[in-house]
Every structure is written in C-alpha cells, then in structure tokens.
C-alpha cells in the first residue's frame, strides 16, 4: 500500500524542557519508577536519520538540517509522538497492532503505539516489525545469550553486518559502516528509505512492505497441499527435508531478494541518466576539481576535440552518499567547472547507498552496457578498475577498453596507493591501451613485467614531459599522438566487431 508522505509544518525548535518529563506526560499510566527503563529503551530504539526523513526541511532547519540522538528524542517527545511520527526502524505500527491482537490485547484509546510498545509490548516480548524473526535469529545465532534475541538485535544486530534477522535476508548489502552504532544509523536504513516519497514513513516503508508481501508468499509453504507434496518428494529423496529444522532462508522477488535493491537502483540510475547511448565513458573516482583537472578530465576533453560528434561521459564511481535524497546530484549534466562543453558527468554515489564494492561494480556494469559505450576508460577509480578486472573479457567484445595510469604514491603510513596493481594485472590483457602519465612509470612497467613488444605497444605516453600539470599548475594537454592512437584503437575495435 502506498501513500504520499505527509510533512508537518511545525518549525520551532524543541523547548529546552527535560524530555523525560515529556515522556512521563505521554505515559501517565506507567509508574514513575519505571520511566527510567522506558527512557533507556526509547533511546536504544531511536534512529535519527529515519525520523528526520519524516520531517520537512522547515522542521529540520532549526537543527541545521540534521538531528542527533538527543535532539531526535526531544523532538519526538515534544511533537512527533502526538503527530504519529516513527522514531524507530524496528517499530511498524500495523505489525504491532496485529501482534497485540494475536495475544488478545489492544492499544488503549489515546495511547501512542510506539511508547505503548516500549512500556508494555517490550515486556511481553512482542516483536513489532516484519523485519525480524525471533525463532530464526536464535537458530542462526546460537551464541546470543540474552533471553530475548530481539533486544540483542536492537543493540547490536542493526549495526553489525553478521547478524541476519530474518529468513528474508539481512535487509542490507552486508557491508560494515563506520560509526553505525554510535550514530544509531542501522545498516538497513538505505532500504528503509528507498522510494521514501512513495510511502508514508510514519506507517510503513519500501522494505517493510516487501517483507510483508514476502511473508504472505511464504505462508503458501504451510498449506496442506504443499506440505503433502514436500512429504511425497521427501519420501523419494530424504535429503530434501534435511536441515529444514535449522530454518529455511527465503528469496522472494519481487518482494525480497539479495539483489533486488541493487536492481531498483540500477533502474533508477537508468531513468535519471536519461540518455540511451554514450560513445565514451570515463570512469573516475569522483568529480572533484582535482579529478577534472587531472588526466581523466584532460583525456575527456581531448577525445571530445578529436571526435566532436562523439559523446563523452565522466562517471564518478567511488563517491559515497548517505541517502537517495542526494540523487539529484547524480544526474547527468554538463555544468561542471573546468570541463569543456559537451562532456556530461554523472555521480553514481547516490545510487549506491549502502552498496558493497561488488554491487558498485555491477551498477557500473549495467550503466556502461546500458549506454552501449564503444569506449570504456578507467581513470583512477577503484570501482572502474574492478569493473575491467571482473568483466573486461566480456566488455571488450563490444567496446575498446583503456585505462589511465599514474605513478603510485606512498602515503605517510607507508602504503602504496595509486592505480590498482592487482586489478591492473587482471585487466591488462583486455585493455587496448593504457595511458601512462610518466615515462618513468612506463619504463618501470616494461621492466618489471618484461612486456613483450605487442604488450609494450599498449602503453601510450600521455605527455611529452612527466606530470599532469605544468610548473605553474595549469593542466597539460595530452599529446596529439596519444589521442590519435586511442581513437584509432576504437575504430579498429569497431571494425573487428563489424567483421
């Protein structure tokens, strides 16, 4: 069920009054000596970014647009509770009402459902969300010693990737996020906030709706007919029922599946891009001024000049974004200072919120295939290198592949950073060319890899002299011979495909 998110109009900051007093006022029936306990639970279950997503820009303005835990709790108790806002990703009002009803209980008139759960439902160990399955959690994580697994999930499971809460999945990509617990930012937040504009977040979300539909689908497993069919098959092959007692994981597209969120984002990206073809995609780590001024931007400009009729897109693949709300900055646009006209840029970060590197690579793969790019270049992007290392074989059947190589640098900690050595080793066989920014690096590669004559020819020198900028800091132009060579490789590749 979908409805448009409603936004309040309250814009004043929360009064400085003690929020605990406000909590007492909202829970008149609770003995005063229990308020401290409910207060602790409230704080443990509050998730500022989820709550903030239910507020308008005007409501957030007094907080500088961002709530922390204290201000979220205070705002909720002062305004949100009575307005029906949800401060917690693990409280789904309808699920709570349904599970109360299963026990013959109902919400008292005038009660705030979330606070009722904190003060009453918690003690009855009612799980108020379709995202979590207590029996499953205990089977899959027998090391949990707390009597109620859900309480452990609230404290730790929401923030650490190893805790799978449900047969329906983890509800996130499985990646650790620094400071998630300190910031009360659950790993499932990107999926909770997906398509936020399509859902009334005070009641439900894309993730919860998917879980509810998946649970309905799973219920068919319990039908007498299906049970009979399973029993008949197991009579032939007993292994069919082996392991079932420890819990069956479930994949249920289009409601819940490991790559469902990624597929949604890939499609959102396609719609946002708005183009159906780009001749050259240059994959860069970001769209900072340094990147634009560096070899990637220079190459894009040179290709644009050499092939005026051919389109060029700079795609930033390594950037991070907190929410899909940032997706407007992901749009393809030409308005980037330092780039000549006719070169589009795209930031994949807002479409990769919560993605691990594998999913980022797959998102980029979908983009370059979708745009039927005839030339794909990685220039300093970790994800770009991974793309060529993983899928260079396949991409090279339809596109000319290239890479920009800059000398690795040693960090203060002594680590070597720069182009990805392992990925270079995996991808080099599929590259038509590698644009090398210094003669020293070219010599080093030739020497260490004992490059044969034909492999040596793949190294293209970018500049007559070393470095991407002149002594005065201005950007250099890539040598005409290098550009000519890259263009020729592309033409040769197209000729081969036509043949």
Partner 1 sequence: MDERAPCDVTAIITAHNEGPLIGLSLRSLLDAVDFARQSGLEVEIIAVLDNPDDSTRVAMADAAEHGCRVVEVAYGDHGLARNEAIRLSAGRYLAFLDGDDLWSENWVVDAFGVCETDPGRVIAHPAINWIFDNGSYCYFLPDQTDPAYDPAFLRVANSWDQLCMAPVEVHRAHPYHRRELDRGFAYLDWTWNLETIEAGLMHRTVPETLHFKRRRATSQFTQARANRSLPFPSAMHDYAWWAAHEG
Which residues have a Cβ under 8 Å from the Cβ of 481 and sit 6 or more positions away? Answer: none
Site residues for partner 1, 11-50, by CB under 8 A, read: none
Please count the other Cβ atoms lying within 10 Å of the Cβ belonging to residue 329: 15
Distance of CA 46 to the CA centre of its chain: 22
Nearer CB in complex with partner 1: 90/273: 273
Does position 398 interact with partner 1 (CB under 8 A)? The reply is yes
User: Would you say 288 and 369 are in contact if contact means Cβ atoms under 8 Å apart?
Assistant: no
User: Would you say 176 and 160 are in contact if contact means Cβ atoms under 8 Å apart?
Assistant: yes
Does position 250 interact with partner 1 (CB under 8 A)? The reply is yes
Distance of CA 188 to the CA centre of its chain: 10
Does position 333 interact with partner 1 (CB under 8 A)? The reply is no
* Residue of 177, 185, 214, 312 interacting with partner 1 (CB under 8 A): 214
Count of residues near partner 1 by CB under 8 A: 55
- Point out which span in 76-84, 243-251, 301-309, 450-458 binds partner 1 (CB under 8 A): 243-251
Q: How far is the CB of 223 from partner 1 (least distance, A)?
A: 7
Q: How far is the CB of 228 from partner 1 (least distance, A)?
A: 9
Nearer CB in complex with partner 1: 239/471: 239
* Residue of 9, 32, 222, 225 interacting with partner 1 (CB under 8 A): 225
CA 300 → CA 59, 182, 340, 408, 446, distances in Å?
Answer: 43, 42, 9, 22, 26
Please count the other Cβ atoms lying within 10 Å of the Cβ belonging to residue 101: 11
* Residue of 69, 105, 390, 455 interacting with partner 1 (CB under 8 A): 390
The dihedrals phi and psi of 449, each to the nearest 5 degrees, come to: -90, 0
Does position 229 interact with partner 1 (CB under 8 A)? The reply is yes
CA distance 425 to 431: 11
Site residues for partner 1, 90-109, by CB under 8 A, read: none
Nearer CB in complex with partner 1: 365/455: 365
Distance of CA 395 to the CA centre of its chain: 24
Nearer CB in complex with partner 1: 144/390: 390
3-class state of residue 391 by DSSP:
helix
Pairing of strands 416-417, 409-410: antiparallel
- Point out which span in 32-40, 187-195, 297-305, 385-393 binds partner 1 (CB under 8 A): 385-393
Question: Which of 295, 399, 301, 307 has the alpha carbon at shortest distance from 344?
Answer: 301
- Point out which span in 21-29, 89-97, 311-319, 362-370 binds partner 1 (CB under 8 A): 362-370
Site residues for partner 1, 272-311, by CB under 8 A, read: 273, 275-277
- Point out which span in 150-158, 177-185, 263-271, 337-345 binds partner 1 (CB under 8 A): 263-271
Does position 208 interact with partner 1 (CB under 8 A)? The reply is no
* Residue of 56, 94, 202, 251 interacting with partner 1 (CB under 8 A): 251
Does position 198 interact with partner 1 (CB under 8 A)? The reply is no
3-state secondary structure 442-453: HHHHHHHHCCCH
Does position 366 interact with partner 1 (CB under 8 A)? The reply is yes
Which residues have a Cβ under 8 Å from the Cβ of 445 and sit 6 or more positions away? Answer: 405, 436, 451, 459
Query: Which stretches of 63-182 are DSSP H helices?
Result: 69-75, 81-83, 93-102, 113-116, 134-140, 149-152
Residues that bind partner 1 (CB under 8 A): 213-214, 217-218, 220-221, 223, 225-226, 229-230, 232-233, 236-237, 239-244, 248-255, 257-260, 262-264, 266-267, 270, 273, 275-277, 362, 366, 369-372, 390-391, 393-394, 397-398
């Amino acid at each position: 069920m979908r409805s448009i998110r409603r936004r309040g109009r309250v814009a004043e900051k929360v009064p400085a009054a003690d929020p605990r007093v406000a909590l007492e006022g909202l829970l008149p029936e609770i003995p005063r000596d229990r308020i401290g306990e409910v207060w602790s639970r409230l704080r443990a279950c509050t998730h500022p970014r989820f709550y903030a997503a239910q507020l308008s820009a005007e409501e957030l303005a007094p907080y500088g647009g961002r709530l922390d835990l204290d201000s979220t709790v205070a705002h909720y108790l002062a305004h949100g509770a009575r307005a029906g806002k949800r401060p917690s990703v693990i409280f789904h009002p309808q699920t709570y009402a349904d599970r109360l009803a299963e026990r013959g209980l109902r919400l008292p008139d005038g009660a705030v459902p979330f606070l009722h759960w904190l003060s009453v439902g918690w003690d009855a160990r009612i799980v108020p969300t379709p995202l979590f399955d207590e029996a499953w959690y205990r089977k899959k994580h027998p090391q949990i010693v707390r009597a109620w697994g859900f309480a452990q999930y609230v404290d730790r499971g929401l923030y650490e990737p190893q805790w799978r809460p449900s047969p329906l999945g983890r509800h996130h990509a499985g990646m650790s996020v620094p400071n998630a617990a300190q910031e009360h930012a659950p790993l499932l937040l990107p999926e909770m906030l997906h398509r936020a504009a399509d859902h009334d977040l005070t009641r439900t979300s894309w993730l919860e709706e998917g879980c509810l539909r998946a649970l309905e689908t799973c219920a068919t497993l319990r039908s007498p007919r299906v049970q009979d069919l399973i029993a008949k098959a197991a009579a032939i092959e007993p292994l069919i029922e082996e392991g079932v007692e420890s819990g069956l994981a479930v994949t249920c597209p289009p409601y819940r599946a490991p790559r469902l969120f990624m597929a949604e984002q890939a499609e959102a990206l396609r719609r946002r891009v708005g183009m159906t073809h780009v001749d050259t995609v240059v994959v860069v780590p970001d769209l900072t001024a340094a990147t634009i001024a560096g070899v990637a931007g220079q190459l894009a400009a040179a290709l644009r000049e050499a092939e005026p009729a051919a389109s060029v897109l700079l795609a930033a693949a390594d950037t991070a974004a907190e929410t899909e709300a940032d997706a407007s900055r992901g749009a393809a646009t030409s308005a980037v200072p330092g780039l000549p006209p006719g070169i589009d840029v795209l930031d994949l970060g807002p479409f990769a919120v919560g993605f691990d590197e594998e999913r980022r690579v797959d998102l980029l793969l979908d983009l370059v295939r979708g745009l039927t790019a005839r030339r794909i270049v990685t220039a300093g992007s970790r994800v770009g290198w991974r793309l060529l290392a993983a899928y260079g074989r396949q991409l090279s059947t339809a596109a000319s592949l290239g890479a920009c190589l800059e000398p690795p640098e040693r960090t203060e900690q002594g680590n070597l950073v720069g182009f990805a050595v392992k990925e270079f080793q995996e991808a080099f066989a599929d590259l038509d060319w590698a644009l090398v920014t210094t003669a020293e690096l070219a010599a080093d590669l030739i020497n260490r890899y004992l490059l044969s004559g034909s492999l040596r020819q793949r190294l293209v020198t970018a500049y007559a002299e070393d470095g991407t900028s002149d002594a005065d800091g201005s950007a250099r132009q890539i040598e005409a011979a290098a550009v000519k060579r890259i263009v020729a490789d592309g033409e040769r590749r197209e000729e081969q495909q036509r043949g």
